[in-house]
Structure 1
Amino acid sequence: MTARPTNAHQALVLKLLRDEGPNSRARLGELMDLSRSKLALEMDRLMETGLVVNDGLAASRGGRRSHNLRLAPELRFLGVDIGATSADVAVTNAQLEVLGHLGQPIDVRAGPVAVFEQVLDMAAKLKAAGLAEGFDGAGVGIPGPVRSPEGVPVSPPIMPGWDGFPVREALGQDLGCPVMVDNDVNLMALGEQHAGVARNVKDFLCVKIGTGIGCGIVVGGQVYRGVTGSAGDIGHIQVNAQGHPCACGNRGCLEAHFSGAALARDALTAAESGHSGELADKLAASGALTAADVASAAAAGDNLAIDLIREGGGLLGQVIASLVSFFNPGLVVVGGGVTGLGHGLLAAIRTQVYRRSLPLATGNLPIVLSELGPQAGVIGAARLITDRVFSPA
């Protein structure tokens, strides 16, 4: 098992080297406000553990040049992002650079045992490719509420058979390393914060639209999870009291009206009723419809597909407008599988937010699409586990 730092100073050094890359002792001392002697002591202890190594000479600042320091290059972390219909698995180094990435379709309704067989198979393929001999830790995201910090799913609406399953314990035994588990949208937010569009933003919202809809909330640079881990479950905010039934048992939830599954349902209705020739052709060709088909039809100029995106984006925009008025974030990031709907979706969201929220909250508020795509979740998962491994034992 990877050595752990023994105090807060060592933990801060590791996280600075993770987030900022190799750095000189002098610069680290400035960032930490530590005396040279105290910093030297902590650095020597970290080098003894093998977590930190020398990395060439630093740029001259006058006087004798010191060595740059970096995290040990052989450290390896596994990032796992499980969605309702697909899973992504990646190996990163300690600076969370993705060294290898695999993704494949899965059905989360098959249950944790079947899903983790596929995840472990992808991890084994990455190891066999020479990317890792073993893992120093693994982070896992799942598409449902997670009781933190135990890493246990709690009554996830779209995940039958997962309630109470000991994800952290089971995967930890299989992988032979520490494991941390969180909701997938929280990990997407961590990924965007580390390497994406939210790199320098301390307070932002990260909305993920896939089979379900969730929101990662970052406050002061930290993910806010709430008292029991269920913060950000915006997919079950009601948008229509007489609306569609939802998997959670209620009616008219945002998720029941605009998500990957809801778009596929509405597209099927439109195709079967003859209101969309483009979607009818796609249904005839493949026997089923997806949110990607709606995006493709809209790009081809199909009016009904364009309306589906505009209406759904408008409902999501209404919910985000309420969140913006309440939270006053510095940025809203929109990601997930349904973002293939592109700028038509973004325009519908922006229209509602800028119209409904006060100018003080929206006057300098960017609302943007994620640029990391499926890597946001796996980078966030690696960030989650390194936060743990780089904390005092």
Structure 2
Amino acid sequence: MTARPANTHQARLLRLLRDSGPNSRAQLGDQVDLSRSKLAVEVDRLLETGLVVADGLAASRGGRRSHNIRLAPALRFLGVDIGATSIDVAVTNAELEVLGHLNHPMDVREGPVAVFEQALALAAKLRATGLADGGFDGAGIGVPGPVRFPEGVPVAPPIMPGWDGFPVREALSQELGCPVMVDNDVNLMAMGEQHAGVARSVGDFLCVKIGTGIGCGIVVGGEVYRGTTGSAGDIGHIQVEPDGRPCACGNKGCLEAHFSGAALARDAEAAARAGQSTELAARLDAAGTLTAADVAAAAAAGDATALELIREGGNRVGQVIAGLVSFFNPGLVVIGGGVTGLGHNLLASVRTQVYRQSLPLATGNLPIVLGELGPAAGVIGAARLISDHVFSPA
């Protein structure tokens, strides 16, 4: 198992090297508030732990040339992003570059044992290619439901029957023989976009994931805000329609019941059967079922019904985001998840609603954009989560 840094100075140095790559001692000294002699002591101690290595001579700044320092090239993190209908597994190096990434369709309702068997099989496949010969130094896991964060345990997740209270962190830590951290999948998407995506330079932002369910990652001052019990950002269960459709959570009229991947597919099938769209009807005949991807394809072909379904859904999402924007005043709103295949049609109606409803002071310079990383956002966020843990004082 990897050594952990002994103090906050070492932890800070490791995170700097993770986020900005190899650095000279002189450059590191500019970024952390340490005297040259104290910095030298901390760097030497990190070299002894094997967490960092010397990496050639740095460019001269006058006087003796300093050595570059980088994170150990052999460090490996495993990122596992469990969605409602698929699993993504990736191996990264210490700088969180994805070295290998596999995806497998899987229904989360099959339960934790079956899902983790599949996740471990994918991890073993990546290891077998020589990407992580020495095993993993840590693993981050995302699940599509609320998580009691300190214990790494899902709590009453509406779309995950059989997962309530399952000790994900403990079970996988034993299987993998390394530290494991568990979080909600939307928080990890936010962390991924913050580390390597569209939110790189933003301290306060919202990351909305629209897939089988709908959730929101909240980043405040560069840190994910999880709330008192870990359920912050559960916006899919905000009511948008009094006495509306029944939702999996037991309430009526939730955003998720009216616009999510599943709700969109159901509405598209109803429209196709009612003869409102020849494009959707043809797709339904061919496949026997419709998905959000079919709606996106029909909209791209100019189908009026598909465009209207997307516009209505975007309005509902925009209505909820407008309330969040007025309350939180973020610097950016990122939209990601499976339904982002609906792309700019969805984005346009979300933007219209938010700009119309929120105060000009909150929306004057507010970009509302699609995520940059697609399916890699969750696994990069998972690697970021576990690296934050490994690169924190023991």
Category of TM-score, reference length = shorter chain: over 0.9
Aligned counterparts of 2:279 and 2:188: Cα–Cα separation in 1 = 36
In structure 2, the partner of 1:279 is 280
Per-residue CA deviation, residues 250-297 of structure 1 (Å, 9 max, x unaligned), is 000000001000001101111111111111110110111000000001
Q: After TM superposition, give the deviation of residue 347 of structure 1 in Å.
A: 0.0
Q: After TM superposition, give the deviation of residue 50 of structure 1 in Å.
A: 0.2
In structure 2, the partner of 1:269 is 270
- TM superposition outliers: structure 1 runs of 4+ over 4 Å: none
Aligned counterparts of 2:56 and 2:331: Cα–Cα separation in 1 = 38
Give unmatched runs, 5+ long, in structure 2.
none
In structure 1, the partner of 2:79 is 79
In structure 2, the partner of 1:132 is 132
- Could you tell me which amino acid in structure 1 is paired with residue 26 of structure 2? A
Q: After TM superposition, give the deviation of residue 30 of structure 1 in Å.
A: 1.2
In structure 2, the partner of 1:25 is 25
- Could you tell me which amino acid in structure 1 is paired with residue 170 of structure 2? E
- Could you tell me which amino acid in structure 2 is paired with residue 386 of structure 1? S
Aligned counterparts of 1:77 and 1:181: Cα–Cα separation in 2 = 14
- Could you tell me which amino acid in structure 2 is paired with residue 87 of structure 1? I
- Could you tell me which amino acid in structure 2 is paired with residue 348 of structure 1? S
In structure 2, the partner of 1:389 is 390
Per-residue CA deviation, residues 357-388 of structure 1 (Å, 9 max, x unaligned), is 01111110000001100000000000000000
Q: After TM superposition, give the deviation of residue 192 of structure 1 in Å.
A: 0.4
In structure 2, the partner of 1:111 is 111
Aligned counterparts of 1:101 and 1:181: Cα–Cα separation in 2 = 19
TM-score, normalization by structure 2:
0.99
Q: After TM superposition, give the deviation of residue 70 of structure 1 in Å.
A: 0.3
* Partner-residue secondary structure (3-state), 2:65: coil
* Partner-residue secondary structure (3-state), 1:130: helix
Aligned counterparts of 1:301 and 1:71: Cα–Cα separation in 2 = 50
In structure 1, the partner of 2:299 is 298
Describe how 1:332-371 pairs up with structure 2 within 5 A: 332-371=333-372
In structure 2, the partner of 1:372 is 373
In structure 2, the partner of 1:243 is 244
Aligned counterparts of 1:277 and 1:124: Cα–Cα separation in 2 = 45
Give unmatched runs, 5+ long, in structure 1.
none
In structure 2, the partner of 1:65 is 65
Question: Percent same amino acid among aligned pairs?
Answer: 81
Per-residue CA deviation, residues 204-262 of structure 1 (Å, 9 max, x unaligned), is 00000000000000000000000010000000000001211000000000000010000
- Could you tell me which amino acid in structure 2 is paired with residue 119 of structure 1? A
In structure 2, the partner of 1:36 is 36
Describe how 1:125-274 pairs up with structure 2 within 5 A: 125-133=125-133, 134-274=135-275
- Could you tell me which amino acid in structure 1 is paired with residue 120 of structure 2? L
* Partner-residue secondary structure (3-state), 1:88: strand
Q: After TM superposition, give the deviation of residue 99 of structure 1 in Å.
A: 0.1
Q: After TM superposition, give the deviation of residue 56 of structure 1 in Å.
A: 1.0
Q: How many residues align?
A: 393
- Could you tell me which amino acid in structure 1 is paired with residue 110 of structure 2? A
Aligned counterparts of 2:310 and 2:87: Cα–Cα separation in 1 = 25
Aligned counterparts of 1:85 and 1:178: Cα–Cα separation in 2 = 26
TM-score, normalization by structure 1:
1.00
Q: After TM superposition, give the deviation of residue 181 of structure 1 in Å.
A: 0.1
